[in-house]
Every structure is written in C-alpha cells, then in structure tokens.
Amino acid sequence: MNFPRTSLEQWRVLQAIVEHGGFAQAASALNRSQSAVSYNVARLQEQLGVGLLEAEGRRMKLTAAGAALLREATPLIEAALRLEARARALDAGWEAEVRLAVDSLFPTDALLCALAGFAGHCPDTRLQVHEVVMSGADDALYAGAVELAIVTRVPSGFMGDWLMDATFVAVAAPGHPLLAAGQPLGEDDLRRYPQVVVRDSGTRQPRDEGWLGASQRWTVSSPHTALDVVSAGLAYGWLPEHRIRQPLAHGLLRPLPLAQGQQRKSSLYLVNAAAEAAGPATRYLAEGLRQAVQQHLQQQLQQVPSTQQNSDMA
C-alpha cells in the first residue's frame, strides 16, 4: 500500500501564499514563521519534482502546473477541514445524523423553512428525511428508524405534541362531469366516477381514511401522482389544501359542490421518539418545525382576506 508523499498541510500553505500574495503574508495568515512556510513549499516542490510558484513583481503566482495541481488539491483541503469540524461537533455532543419521518400532509413550505434553519445551525449533522403516508410514520417509530416523526395519529407507546390541522378539499378538473351537475352532489353522484386515493405507506397496520365509496377507486403511492391524476381529469379526490392552493387559484382545479363533506381535517402531531435522550441537533430540529408551523399558520391568516376578495369578485 502506497502513502501520499505530500501532505494537506503543504497544499494549504501553497494555497495561502497564492491567496495572500507572498510568503510573509501567508505566514501571518497561518500564524506560522516565514521560514516554516518557505520550507513547506520547497519540500512540496521537491517531492513533486515540479515548480509550483514564480515571482511576478512583489507577488508570488502559480505556474501553469501549480495552478492545475492546486485546483485538484483544493477540494481535498476543504474536505479535510469539514471532517475536522465535524469531529469537533461530535466531540461536543452533536449527533452525527438526525432522521425525520414526515407525513405527506405536512406543508412543504413549513418543512423547507425548518430544514433551512437546521442546515445553518447544524452543518456537521447529516439529515435523513423519510416522506411517508399515514401509518408509514408509525412503522418508522416502532422500528427505531427515526428520532422525530410528524404523524396524523400518535402511535401507542409514544407521546406527541399537536402541530396543526391539515385540510383536505374535494376537487376535480374543470371539465369533470361532476362539476356540470348544477346542484349539490351526494354520495350516489360520487359513486359513478373514479376516485383517486393515496396508499398508506405503512406495512405494519395500514389504514384507510375518508370517504371511499366510489365504485372505481384509483390507488397511487404519491400525493404528487394523485394531484396529477385529478388535474388530468381522470378522477376526483380529496387532496391536501396546501398542495392545491395554486391550482385552485388559477382555475386548474375546482372544488366539488358537495352537499356535505366538501372538506375534512386531519391533525398533525410531532413525536420525539426519545425526548429525554435527544441530542442538541434533534431538539433544534423539533423546535424549528414548531416555529415553521407557526409562521405557516400566520401566513395563512394573512392570505384569508385576499382569498375572500377573490371569491367575492368571482
């Protein structure tokens, strides 16, 4: 097995000389003696057998070979610095990884807001996000596969905090026959046409929710696919309001005029699988999710007047 003849320290010294314009400036920036800087570069050039620097006035610049080699060495230097930073974070008690299961009902904007905060505050902790439907989050908790989960029901043996209520809206594409009835629709009307539903991603105790009385049911695995099916006019369905807000606003989808049940709500809860043993990154993400939900709800309240105004104008 061969070992590298050069060290990352030597490449970092070369990088500093180029960045700061000379040996003395690099020595000051690196808190090293000028003789140590000069020795590192001389040794590096000797080991490589290639000239790396040349004088240009009072500044040092890379030779063509030096520029090509440093360009390849720079990602290695940055990777080593990240590795050391991560080691310090782990030594300080920060988790190497946090795993989160998120039900598809959770608003995407709130999730991205929480993840952005996590990325800025916990740069040395990896994150796994498992997107699940219904009991898929339960399975992840029971299997010990996640530290945090956003669920529609708190599974037995765990405790959870209410986050928000998500709303399902019965919708169809503008050309769907159900929208041409001209009167409130009942269950008999709905049974005549295909309904799209999203499959529970759990396998331990999968469940169904909502009205499922259509004679022809189309079952898909993804909420995105369900939206595409409804948008294409192939079926109607109860879809999460946060996913269809823009299509509704632009007339690409229309609410079904049901006599009852046009909307239904489902609560979302945040479960910390082992709250007392949770590390700082897990706790930070949990709090970030709570704050992101509050921001989401406040934005929703601010949009109510404009939405009402659009309805009045229509």
Tens of pLDDT, residue by residue over 73-116, are 999 988 888 788 777 766 767 888 999 999 999 999 999 999 99
What contacts 237, CB < 8 A, 6 or more positions away? Answer: 170, 171, 195, 196, 197, 226, 229, 230
Torsions phi, psi for 253 (to 5 deg): -135, 155
271: CB partners within 8 A, 6+ apart: 137, 141, 148, 149, 150, 151, 154, 155, 158, 159, 160
- CB neighbourhood size of 307 (10 A): 13
Question: Hey, what CATH topology would domain 96-300 get?
Answer: D-Maltodextrin-Binding Protein; domain 2 (3.40.190)
pTM: 0.68
Question: What residues does each domain of the chain span?
Answer: 8-92, 96-300
- The pLDDT, as a whole number, for residue 308 is 42
User: What architecture is the 8-92 domain classified under in CATH?
Assistant: Orthogonal Bundle (1.10)
- One digit per residue, the tens of pLDDT, for the chain of length 314 reads 788 889 999 999 999 999 888 999 999 989 999 999 999 999 999 999 999 999 888 788 899 999 999 999 999 988 888 788 777 766 767 888 999 999 999 999 999 999 999 999 998 899 999 999 988 899 999 888 999 999 999 999 899 999 999 999 999 999 999 998 878 999 999 999 999 999 888 877 776 665 566 778 899 988 999 999 999 999 999 999 988 999 999 999 999 999 999 999 999 999 999 888 888 999 999 999 999 999 999 988 877 544 344 434 33
The whole-angstrom separation of Cα 98 and Cα 39 is 44
